[in-house]
Amino acid sequence: MSRSTDRVRKLPVYHRRGVSHAWLIDPLRYSLEVYRSGPRGWAQVGLYEGSAVVRAEPFAEVPLELGLLWLPRRGASGPRVNPVPPP
């Protein structure tokens, strides 16, 4: 599916159904966006890129090495490294 489908169609459905957290993973941008559901909808609680080691809600006890998820880009030796701290 597309990024717009995930944000515009899926996230509202998940919120109505009581899903507490959502992760949007973009393998082309090497990014992970973490959202928490609240009374007014979704709030972004984390944005991570590259090969950062992430401890993201609701699995903060489990480290996830994002670099293991990505295929290298053509002509590159591996994923770019540019961790972005949560807001």
Residues 48, 34: Cα–Cα separation, whole Å: 8
31 pLDDT above the threshold of 60: yes
Structure tokens at 36: 């928490």
Tens of pLDDT, residue by residue over 1-26, are 577 788 889 999 999 999 999 999 99
At residue 8, the pLDDT reads: 86
How many CB atoms within 10 Å of residue 14?
A: 17
How many CB atoms within 10 Å of residue 44?
A: 13
The torsion defined by the Cα of 76, 80, 44 and 21, in degrees rounded to 10, comes to 70
Say how many residues make up the chain: 87
Coil, helix or strand for 14?
A: helix
Give me the residue spans of the domains in the chain: 3-68
Tens of pLDDT, residue by residue over 38-76, are 999 999 999 999 999 999 999 999 999 999 999 877 766
